Amino acid sequence: MTRPTTVRTSLSLLHIAPSVVALLTATVMWSSIGVGGRIVKINLTINAPMGANFTKSFETDDENLRRFNLTQEEVSKGAVHLNSHGEVDEIEVKGMKIPLHLDLRQELESLTYTYLTVNNGSWSVRVRDYKNTTLDDFKDDPLLVPENVTLDWSFTPEFILNPANISVKSGVQEASIHLDNDTLLFQYTQGTVKGGSWVYILPYTGMYLRVFNPYTRQLTLSKYFDTEYFMDKELVENLRNLKKGRIAIITTFYDASGHLESSSRDVLEEFGSFAVQHLNFRDLWAWVWQVGGATLAEGLVTNQKGVQTIPPPLYLSLQIPATDSAERFCKDWPTGGTWEKRKQFCDAYDGYGDLCSCDNPFPTTADVPKMDTWREDIGIMLVVGNRPQYLYRLLRQVLLQPGVNKTQIFVSIDGFHEEPVKLVEIFELKYLVHHPEGQGSPRISRHLRFALFKVLKALDTDKFIVLEEDLLLAPDFYSYMQQTSAILDKDSTVYGASAYSHFSYNHTASDVSRLNRVHSFPAYGWMVKRRFVEETLPKWPPVIVAADWDYWMGTGLVRRGRELIIPEISRTVHAGLTGAHFNGFLTKRRFSNKPLSTDPNARVNITGVQREQYEREILASVNEAELLNITNPYNYTFPRTPGKVYAVFVKMSNEEDDAAFKIIADALSVWNQDARDHHFGLWRIPYYDALMLVIGYPFSKYRRYLKKGYRVIQPNAASMEKFTDNFINDDFYYHGHHTSDYINILGLFDIPKGKEVDHKAGSERSLRNQEFITTSSQSQSTSTLHPVTESQTKLM
C-alpha cells in the first residue's frame, strides 16, 4: 500500500563508506533547513519488513545534498528499511549509510491488509482496528466452548462360537472385502478402462488394508494406500505396528504397482507374501495373514501385456476357526488405572506398535532427566486431527525428549474422534476437543486459534511450543528450543523460534550450530512467548478467510517487522503423507532429502544471531561475494569451491514478486514455492562447500552490491515452462510381464495353476496354509465400469 506523508525535519548524517575489507567511519553534520539553500522535497519508498512498501515525504535544504554530492533523485531512490518498532534509523544512498529518523508507527497502523475469502470476496483489516481489543473481549465467544466428551471403556464381547468367513475380491473394476455378513470394503468406480499405450489411472487406485480382532471380529484398522510416492512406506510402517495375532487383509483395486519400490516389496516378502515380488502393472493381488504368524491365503492374477490387457478379477474365500480367548489380552500387564484403559484401547484399535506390546510396552509415565541446556519449563501444545497413529508417534517422541515436563503438555483435538481422545487419556495429558469450524485451510486456522486460546489457561509457562501430529523430531528438538528460548527473552526484534528451515537440504545444510534470522512465518514446530500469543489472538482472521494460518502469521499485521530464528539443520521434518496440502509426489520433491539433527547434545550459536553481529556477518559475506553472471539458471553449473562466497541477483520489486526467485531456487534444488525465509530480501544458502547469496533486486536492502555489467535474473517464458515441467509427475511404472514370467512364477513353487500348496513337501513357506496363484492371458480393449457409490472419506 502507498500512503504519502510529508514532514519537515533537520537531519544529521553519519557517512559510512564500505570498503572491500571493512567499514570505515567518518561523521559530518548537515546544516539546518533554510540556511541559504533551497527547500527540496524528498519522496522515499519505505521497504517495510512486513511485506508492504509505502511512501514517506520530508523536506530538507539542497545545500545538504550538494555537500554529499547527491541529487534529489538519488536520495529519493535510497534504500530505507523500518526497524521492528516501526521507525526508520538510516537511509542508504550510493553506498553511504546516513542516519535518518522517521517515526512511521501511525502509517503502519493505517496499513490495510486484505485477504481472500472462501466465497472469492475479500476481508480487510488494519492494525489500528485492534488497538483497544483484548482477550477479555472473547471470554463469551461461543466458538471457544469445547465439545463435551463421553467415552465408553467397556470391552467388546468375545465371538467364540462360529468360524470367521472371509471373502476378498481384487479387480480392475471392483474390490471388496467381506467378513461374515459385514462389508469391510466395497470400492468401484465409473468410466472406461482403455487398452493400448494410453492408460487412465482410476481414482482410488492402490491397496486397501483391513485388520480385525479375531476374538471380537471387530475392525481395528482401515487404511487406503494409493499409488503415490512413499505410500508404500506408509503401508510398511502400518504393517510393522500391527498387534501380533490380528488378522490382516490386503486387496488391490485397478493397480498397486505404480510406485511400489523394491525395498517395500522386500519387507512385505519378509512378512510372508510370495506374490508381491511379482506384482506388475494391473496385476491383481489379495493377501490374508495372521500378524506375526501364517499366511492364510494369497492370490495373484497376472496381467499379460501391461497397459494393453485387462485381467479378470481375483477371488479368495477362506474360513478361520474360532480363536482361543486365552490369548486375547497381555497376561503380564499390570491391572487397574490407565492400564485397564490401555488394555481396552489395544483390543479395539491397531497400528500402535509398542504401545500395545505384551513383552515391552511403552512406558507412558516415565520421566526423562533434564539435559544441561534446560532453562525453564516450556509448554508443548499438540494441534491434532483424526490421525491417531501419527499422534502416537509424536507423543512417543515428545515424551522421550530430555527435560520435557509431562504436566506442561496440552493436546487440542479438532472434532470428537474416539480413537485419538482415548489415546490422549491413556497418556493422562491435558486435552480439549474443538468443535470444527469451516473446511480446508479455514478449519485448520480456526482450530489453531482455539488451541492457542485454551493453552493460555491450560498451561502456566511463559513460552509455548506448537506441534502438529505429522512431524518427526530430532533427538535435540527440546534442547534446541531451550537454547533459543534465551533469544526470545533478550531480543525484542525476534518474535519466535522455528525448528524447521525450508532451505535445509542435504546439499545446503551441514552446520548443526548455525542459526539464521529471517523474515518469515514459523513452520513444523515453533515456539513463541505468551505475550506474543496474547497480542496475536485478537487479530485472528474469521472462518470466512481462505488464507492458511502460517501465511497470515507471516504478514506485517502479525510480525510487525520482527524476525524469526531458524536453524541451518532442521530439528523437525514433515512425515505425513495424508493431509491438507501434501501428496506423495510433493512429499518426495520437498522432503525426501532433508537432513535432521542426530546429535542429542548439539549446541547452537546464540550470539551469532544477535542483530548487530548477524548484520556484520551478512555484510562481510556480501562484500566478499563473487557475483555470478547467469543467463539461464537451468543451463548453468553453479560453483562449489569450498569456502567461497557467491552472489546472484534476482528481479524482485516486493515480497510477492517471487517468480525470478522461484526459478533460481528450483535450479539450486531448494525450496521454490515462494519467497519465504529471507533476511531483508537476502537468502543465505550454503551450497555444498560454498556459500550462495540470492539477493532480490531492488527489494533487498543489499541491492547496492549489484555491480555494473552483472545480470539481474528475470523470469521469462522458457524458464517458467521449465519450472512448471519440474512439477509434472509422470514417473509411473507400467511394467508388463514377459511370456517367461508365468513359467518362472509358477515354477518357483512347483505347483499347478490355482492349486493349493502342499506344505509337507518341504517348502520354505511352512508357516502358510494356503497359497494360490492364477495367470491371465486374456486381452480386453475396453471395460465399462460401475458408478461410484462409496466416498473416499468412508474408506479411510
Q: What is the pTM of this model?
A: 0.84
In the structure, what pLDDT confidence band is assigned to residue 368 with cuts at 50, 70 and 90?
confident
In the structure, what pLDDT confidence band is assigned to residue 682 with cuts at 50, 70 and 90?
very high
Please, what's the b/e burial string for 363-383 (b: 16 or more CB within 10 A of its CB; e: otherwise)? ebeeeeeeeebbeebbbbbbb
Residue 790 clears pLDDT 90, i.e. is over it: no
Distance between CA atoms of residues 388 and 423, nearest Å: 8
Question: What's the pLDDT tens digit per position in 412-449?
Answer: 999 999 999 999 999 999 999 999 999 999 999 999 99
Distance between CA atoms of residues 455 and 432, nearest Å: 10
Q: Residue 785 has what pLDDT?
A: 35
Q: Residue 746 has what pLDDT?
A: 61
Most confident region among 59-73, 86-100, 550-564 by mean pLDDT: 550-564
Over residues 120-135, the mean pLDDT reads 91
> Hey, what amino acid is at 762?
G
In the structure, what pLDDT confidence band is assigned to residue 770 with cuts at 50, 70 and 90?
very low
In the structure, what pLDDT confidence band is assigned to residue 150 with cuts at 50, 70 and 90?
very high
How much is the mean pLDDT over the chain? 84
> Among residues of the chain, what percentage have pLDDT more than 70?
81
Q: Residue 258 has what pLDDT?
A: 83
Q: 698: cis peptide before it, omega within 30°?
A: yes
Least confident of 79-93, 278-292, 510-524: 79-93
Over residues 53-70, the mean pLDDT reads 78
Q: Which residues contact 374 (CB under 8 A, 6 or more apart)?
A: 402, 403, 479, 482
Over residues 533-562, the mean pLDDT reads 93
Question: What is the sign of the dihedral through the CA atoms of 340, 364, 333 and 346?
Answer: positive
Residue 520 clears pLDDT 80, i.e. is over it: yes
Distance between CA atoms of residues 776 and 14, nearest Å: 85
Q: Residue 470 has what pLDDT?
A: 92
> Among residues of the chain, what percentage have pLDDT more than 90?
61
Least confident of 60-74, 186-200, 727-741, 770-784: 770-784
Least confident of 197-211, 486-500, 689-703: 197-211
For residue 698, list its beta bridge partners: 652
Residue given cell 502342499 in the structure block: 758
State residue 466 phi and psi, 5-degree precision: -110, 125
Tell me whether residue 722 is exposed, middle or buried, using C-beta atoms within 10 angstroms of its C-beta: 0 to 12, 13 to 18, 19 or more. middle
Residue 278 clears pLDDT 80, i.e. is over it: yes
Q: How far is CA 704 from CA 20, 50, 77, 80, 397, in A?
A: 14, 21, 11, 12, 47
In the structure, what pLDDT confidence band is assigned to residue 781 with cuts at 50, 70 and 90?
very low
Question: What is the sign of the dihedral through the CA atoms of 668, 670, 673 and 677?
Answer: negative
Q: Are 496 and 532 in contact (CB under 8 A)?
A: yes
Residue 499 clears pLDDT 60, i.e. is over it: yes
Residue 405 clears pLDDT 60, i.e. is over it: yes
Distance between CA atoms of residues 181 and 280, nearest Å: 32
